[in-house]
Amino acid sequence: MVRIFIKLLILVIVVLAVVLLVRDDPGMVMLRYRGWAIDTSLAVALAVLIVVVVAIYYLVRFLRGILRMPAAMQLQSQNRRYAKARRQLNQGLIDLAEGRFEQAENHLMRLVNFSESPLVHYLSAARAAQLQGKHDARDSYLKAAHEANPEAELAIGVTQAELQLAHQQTEQALATLSRLHSIAPRHDFVTMLLARAYFELEDWAALTQILPDVRRKKLLKEQRLHEMELAGYRGALEDAIGNQAGFDKTWSAIPKSLQSDPEMLCFYLDLLARRGWYSNGAEQLLVKSLDNRWDDSLIDIYGRFEARDANAQLTRAEKWLDDYGHNEHLLLALGRISMRARLWGKAQGYFEASNGARANPSACLALAELFEQQLQQPDKAAEYYQQGLKLSLEAPR
């Protein structure tokens, strides 16, 4: 509407300019062709010229419109199909979000060939098929997505890996993620999914290699990350248990913050105790951890930890008596250390004190073994064996 008004305004200005031009001197124009001759004033000639120019302009536009009509009709039809495809996509996404997976799949695939964004159709349809348990259809949609948009390999691969992990196809997901990681080694989401795949496959060596990057980038919630770190590094320690040098190297590679974690430290020291290995650094770390924060599990481990000098170990442990003198775990540990120091009387006193603080099967068993093997009192040993068995049977499962 504005354009028409501007054109009329320009025409009026031109007409006024012509009128002003010929007002004082109308002039004369003569056209002669063969036997024809036309005489007219300048004003009439200019008016006719303007009319002819305007007529030619609109005639050209009319003819051009006729020539462009097939293409315009095709474009209009295509736009209508695009609009329908967008409506189908929107409805499919709504159905997917609301849990109507079969309807979602149907809407998403109905006009995918006429969509401006077929990749979204195929990826969403793959999710809908997965949620229906149609895994062959899911893979078919993912393949079609790659054919429709090969440049979106990363997006398609991430979706494929997510769906494979959800379907517990962990090995296939790992293969997909390894390929994606080689393409985009710094992609955060790929790194997070890769860590999850290693965790589920219990590939502890690979998991521990990638966990520092996961923590640095904060790709997982702290609780979940801590769970994976504990499992990963514990698994790595168990894998290295056959060789003490490799075991110590694996332990030294564990982050310092996790080394001081009571659960991790207990596991590490328990492995050392089971193998009969000694580590001065481990003992110092254990003592420092107990100085900072008391933990019954740690003191139980320390009681079984075979230090090179049992008397020095006993002296270090006895310093906790002032604060935890009635703790049955500390007293039991002191009794065990006294046994290794061959202090039978002191061991008996600590075991009896532990059992007195809280009757427990471990203290009863330690007393029974002490009376049977060292003090040569089988009747007392039998008494404590019986008491320990009774406590074990009465303990809640």
Per-residue pLDDT tens for 32-54?
777 677 777 666 776 777 777 77
**Is 33 contained in some domain?**
no
Q: How many domains does the chain fold into?
A: 2
Average pLDDT score over the chain: 84
**Is 18 contained in some domain?**
no
Q: What CA–CA distance (Å, rounded) separates 142 from 156?
A: 7
Residues 320 and 393 in one domain: yes
Instruction: Indicate the SS3 state at residue 260.
Output: coil
pLDDT level of residue 188 (50, 70, 90 thresholds)? very high
Q: Which of 17-21, 53-57, 237-241, 299-303 has the lowest mean pLDDT?
A: 17-21
* pLDDT score at 307: 82
Residues 302 and 373 in one domain: no
Share of the chain above pLDDT 90, in %: 26
Residue finishing a domain among 308, 342, 375: 308
* pLDDT score at 199: 94
Share of the chain above pLDDT 70, in %: 87
Range of the domain at 270: 254-308
| Mean pLDDT, residues 377-397 | 80
Residues 330 and 299 in one domain: no
* pLDDT score at 231: 93
* pLDDT score at 209: 92
Domain containing residue 322: CATH number? 1.25.40.10
Residues 297 and 278 in one domain: yes
* pLDDT score at 173: 93
Question: Does residue 385 carry a pLDDT above 80?
Answer: yes
* pLDDT score at 74: 57
Cβ within 8 Å of residue 284, ≥6 positions away: none
CA angle at 393 for the pair 390 and 397, rounded to the nearest 5°: 150
Question: Does residue 75 carry a pLDDT above 60?
Answer: no
| Mean pLDDT, residues 370-390 | 86
**Is 280 contained in some domain?**
yes
Instruction: Indicate the SS3 state at residue 33.
Output: strand
Question: Does residue 23 carry a pLDDT above 70?
Answer: no
Q: Which of 21-30, 50-59, 118-127, 283-292 has the lowest mean pLDDT?
A: 21-30
Please give the residue that has the higher pLDDT: either 84 or 303: 303
**Is 132 contained in some domain?**
no
**Is 235 contained in some domain?**
no
**Is 294 contained in some domain?**
yes
Residue finishing a domain among 287, 308, 329: 308
- Among 96-110, 199-213, 381-395, name the most confident range: 199-213
**Is 352 contained in some domain?**
yes
Question: Does residue 148 carry a pLDDT above 60?
Answer: yes
Residues 397 and 334 in one domain: yes
Residues 283 and 258 in one domain: yes
Residue 49, CB half-sphere, CA atoms under 13 Å: how many?
Answer: 12
**Is 295 contained in some domain?**
yes
pLDDT level of residue 190 (50, 70, 90 thresholds)? very high
Q: What CA–CA distance (Å, rounded) separates 386 from 368?
A: 9
Q: Cα-Cα-Cα-Cα dihedral of 43, 47, 53, 57, to 10°?
A: 150
* pLDDT score at 97: 87
pLDDT level of residue 214 (50, 70, 90 thresholds)? very high
pLDDT level of residue 211 (50, 70, 90 thresholds)? very high
Q: What CA–CA distance (Å, rounded) separates 192 from 29?
A: 88
- Among 54-58, 93-97, 218-222, 256-260, name the most confident range: 218-222
* pLDDT score at 334: 93
Residues 350 and 290 in one domain: no
* pLDDT score at 210: 93
Question: Does residue 281 carry a pLDDT above 60?
Answer: yes
Question: Does residue 112 carry a pLDDT above 70?
Answer: yes
CA distance to 122, 175, 253, per residue, from 137 (Å): 11, 20, 45
Residues 321 and 396 in one domain: yes
Residues 328 and 395 in one domain: yes
Residues 327 and 374 in one domain: yes
Question: Does residue 72 carry a pLDDT above 60?
Answer: no
Question: Does residue 19 carry a pLDDT above 70?
Answer: no
pTM of the model: 0.67
| Mean pLDDT, residues 92-106 | 87
**Dihedral sign of CA atoms 229, 231, 234, 240 in order:** negative
| Tokens 């006719």 sit on residue | 48
Question: Does residue 276 carry a pLDDT above 80?
Answer: no
Cβ within 8 Å of residue 270, ≥6 positions away: 301, 304
Residues 374 and 326 in one domain: yes
> 89: part of which helix (H) or strand (E)?
helix 42-97
| Mean pLDDT, residues 230-247 | 89
